Amino acid sequence: MLATKPEAATTFPISWVREQFPALHGEPRTVFFDNGAGSQVPQWVLDAVHDHLLRRNAQRGGRYRQSREVDTVLSKARESVATFLNAREPEEIAFGMNATSFMRLISLAIGYALGQRREIVITDLDHEANIATWLALEHAGASIRWWKVRRDGALYVEDLEQILTPNTRLVACTMASNAIGSVLGIRAIAERTHSVGAELFVDAVHFGPHGLIDVQELECDYLVCSGYKIFGPHMGFLWGRRAALDALPTFREDFIPDTAPAKYEIGTYVYENVAGMQAAISYLGELGKRVKNGTGSAGGRSAFTAAMHAIREYEIRLSSALLAGMAKIANITVYGRNKPSDADSRVPTVCFNVGNVRPQAVTERLAARGIAVRDGHMYSPRLMRRLGLSDTSGAVRASLVHYNTIEEIDSLLHELQKYR
């Protein structure tokens, strides 16, 4: 059962893209459809991490050459990530271990500053990290209100409007579901949230590799990403409005300034991984130059915009092809928005089950054939229950990114149709 190859997909430089990722050419070959758990990295990243450890494996803040070079690496990476997100200034970016740690850091700060506005809105679409960290504030007097998905696996702004009150302190939601791929309209959510004087915290971890993030356009107040989902090493970064970041109370050592980003970069994090993140951003910039004008020199924000728009367009075609192919296999159930025409309202992350076959059995069979997918609750057990699934066995997830191909989709569909 072959997926239909869209004509316009040939304009995306997929051959060049795949050449950049060494893992795609290892033997035996693997089809990486578990990118929701972490993507592969381009050679650019490997070189940057190696170079950092070899030439400047030192602590920042010293007066000697290697330490000053670390300072330069961190500064350059902060500027690049700020440009990538369209932040107003580099100081709005903080680096750390992962997105979850930043979620907890912000939630603790919010907990110390609840005041009279004690209502926190969370969703059952989200990764548990963006749920549990806010539930933990109940002991501090927070009142949790649930914004729940409908049967189609989507959240609707009109439902949020019924929950918001003058006592709402913050709304926390994802930008794209890491389990079923639904994409949320963050700008509309921000407008409703701000209309009652509340703040918006966005988990952009799963959306990060799939499309353009413009924090000024989104008008959110805080946003977190994971570098290892955006073709970089294991690390995370936080963006926040400078005034909001500076105002929140955080734990810090006495000699650390009470301003962003220093007050959020607790202790020593992995500098070589930040260097790798900088390289991943550079890779995306180069992709943007190629899709704009072949091998032109225009860079900066315009290159990132071109790259992420091209990735989004290409991945919509991947989503459409995958959903169309699965729709032709009678015993496959795809959860959430599952029609090919829904491709522009989701990312190419598809959660499904095959008849009465255990999800674990499906993933093991596919793994034996060199196709890497995942089974389980995808760190979204509440969503699984909402979909009528067991939060232990869950479902199978195929999560694609822009280095995947129609031919790889065909290989997955070929194996799945054997379950007929």
Q: Write the pLDDT tens digit of every residue in 164-185.
A: 999 999 999 999 999 999 999 9
Residue 261: is the preceding peptide bond cis (ω within 30°)?
Answer: yes
pLDDT of residue 2: 46
pLDDT of residue 381: 97
- 90 pLDDT more than 50: yes
Strands 143-147, 119-123: pairing is parallel
pLDDT of residue 11: 86
C-alpha 164/C-alpha 122 separation (Å) is 11
Average pLDDT, the chain: 95
* pLDDT band at 391; cut points 50, 70, 90: confident
Residues 6+ away with beta carbon under 8 Å from 405: 14, 18
C-alpha 120/C-alpha 107 separation (Å) is 10
* pLDDT band at 43; cut points 50, 70, 90: very high
* pLDDT band at 108; cut points 50, 70, 90: very high
CATH class of domain segment(s) 47-280: alpha beta
Q: Are 335 and 362 in contact (CB under 8 A)?
A: no
Q: Residue by residue, what is the 3-state secondary structure of the chain?
A: CCCCCCHHHHHCCHHHHHHCCHHHHCCCCCEECEHHHCCCCCHHHHHHHHHHHHHCCCCCCCCCHHHHHHHHHHHHHHHHHHHHHCCCCHHHEEEECCHHHHHHHHHHHHHHCCCCCCEEEEECCCCCHHHHHHHHHHHHCCEEEEECCCCCCCCCHHHHHCCCCCCEEEEEEECECCCCCEECCHHHHHHHHHHCCCEEEEECCCCCCCCCCCHHHHCCCEEEEEHHHCCCCCCEEEEECHHHHHHCCCCCCCCCCCCCCHHHCCCCCCHHHHHHHHHHHHHHHHHHHHHHHCCCCCCHHHHHHHHHHHHHHHHHHHHHHHHHHHHCCCCEEECCCCCHHHHHHECCEEEEEECCCCHHHHHHHHHHCCEECEEECCCCHHHHHHCCCCCCCEEEEEECCCCCCHHHHHHHHHHHHHHC
C-alpha 5/C-alpha 16 separation (Å) is 18
C-alpha 419/C-alpha 326 separation (Å) is 12
* pLDDT band at 138; cut points 50, 70, 90: very high
With both helix axes pointing from N to C terminus, report the angle between 43-55 and 65-85 in degrees, rounded to the nearest 10.
150
- 3 pLDDT more than 60: no
pLDDT of residue 294: 62
- 70 pLDDT more than 70: yes
pLDDT of residue 224: 98
pLDDT of residue 6: 41
| Mean pLDDT on 199-203 | 98
Domain coordinates in residue numbering, the chain: 7-41+301-419, 47-280
CB-count exposure of residue 244 (10 Å: 0-12, 13-18, 19+): middle
**pLDDT cut 70: percent of the chain above it:** 96
- 9 pLDDT more than 60: no
CATH class of domain segment(s) 7-41+301-419: alpha beta
Q: Are 289 and 296 in contact (CB under 8 A)?
A: yes
- 128 pLDDT more than 80: yes
**Which of 197, 187, 244 shows the shortest CA–CA distance to 217?**
187
- 71 pLDDT more than 60: yes
C-alpha 338/C-alpha 319 separation (Å) is 9
| Mean pLDDT on 209-235 | 98
pLDDT digits (tens, 9 = 90+) for 229-270: 999 999 999 999 999 999 999 988 999 999 999 999 989 999
pLDDT digits (tens, 9 = 90+) for 297-346: 557 999 999 999 999 999 999 999 999 999 999 999 999 999 999 999 99
* pLDDT band at 7; cut points 50, 70, 90: very low
pTM: 0.95
**Beta bridge partner(s), residue 199:** 170
